[in-house]
């Protein structure tokens, strides 16, 4: 009788150790439901992170270009200074001293990542942003830098930054 009990216990143990076909099917179905949604969520999170890095790069590029222009406004070098903005094409494109030439090495890694920038300059204005008939009062300009950068979820986006510079010391 002892042998019979041992066999039954051994038989029960072997049944407890394995999975039934039904349990295996349930596991496969649950994995089939969970894995695709998890992968989709991870992909959206990755795309959002890529976009955040792109925004950060665009912000840094725009700030750097603006800071260079602001520094140029205080420069005594010929071709720079507040009056240089009267001929924006020359200020941006002049050989050797043009803004694009001076920033070429700095901008190259950004251009390689798909970023580009444009600079626009407003006409001279007075302190409240209007063009005064009294030319001596028009001592301010608004400089705008627009950076276009690629996104993971869309083709591209733009980031715009502006600052006001003055001819006043």
Cβ neighbourhood burial of 84 (10 Å; 0-12, 13-18, 19+): buried
Classify residue 91 by burial, with Cβ atoms within 10 Å: 0-12, 13-18, 19+: buried
Question: What CA–CA distance (Å, rounded) separates 113 from 64?
Answer: 16
Ranges of residues in the chain whose predicted pLDDT is under 50? none
> What pLDDT was estimated at residue 129?
86
What was the pLDDT predicted at 66?
97
- Cβ-defined contacts of 53-57 (< 8 Å, 24+): 54/115, 54/149, 54/150, 54/151, 54/152, 54/157, 55/149, 55/159, 57/110, 57/113, 57/115, 57/149
Query: Do residues 116 and 131 lie in contact, with contact meaning Cβ atoms separated by under 8 Å?
Result: no
Q: Where are the domains positioned within the chain? A: 50-166
CB 112 within 8 A of CB 123: no
What pLDDT, on a 0 to 100 scale, did the predictor assign at position 32?
84
Q: What local confidence, expressed as pLDDT, does residue 10 receive?
A: 53
Q: Which pLDDT score is estimated for 153?
A: 75
117-154: b or e for each residue (b if 16 or more CB lie within 10 Å)? bebebeebbbeeeeeeeeeeebbbbebebbbebbeeee
* Cα–Cα distance measured from residue 32 to residue 53, given in angstroms and rounded to the nearest whole number: 33
Question: Is the pTM above the cut of 0.75?
Answer: no
DSSP summary character for residue 154: S
Q: Which pLDDT does position 17 carry in this prediction? A: 65
What pLDDT was estimated at residue 154? 74
- Interval 149-168: pLDDT, tens: 998 877 889 999 999 999 87
């Amino acid at each position: 009788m002892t042998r019979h009990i041992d066999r039954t216990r051994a038989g029960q143990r072997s049944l407890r150790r394995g999975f039934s076909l039904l349990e295996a099917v349930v596991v496969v179905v649950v994995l089939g439901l969970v894995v695709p949604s998890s992968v989709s969520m991870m992909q959206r999170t990755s795309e959002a992170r890529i976009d955040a890095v792109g925004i950060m790069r665009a912000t840094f590029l725009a700030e750097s270009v603006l800071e260079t222009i602001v520094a140029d406004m205080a420069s005594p070098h010929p071709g720079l200074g507040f009056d240089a903005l009267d001929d924006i094409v020359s200020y941006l494109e002049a050989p050797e001293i043009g803004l694009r030439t001076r920033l070429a090495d700095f901008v190259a890694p950004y251009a390689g990542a798909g970023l580009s920038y444009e600079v626009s300059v407003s006409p001279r204005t007075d302190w409240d942003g209007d063009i005064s008939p009294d030319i001596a009062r028009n001592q301010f300009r608004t400089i705008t830098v627009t950076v276009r950068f690629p996104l993971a979820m869309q083709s591209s986006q733009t980031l715009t930054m502006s600052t006001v510079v003055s001819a006043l010391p």
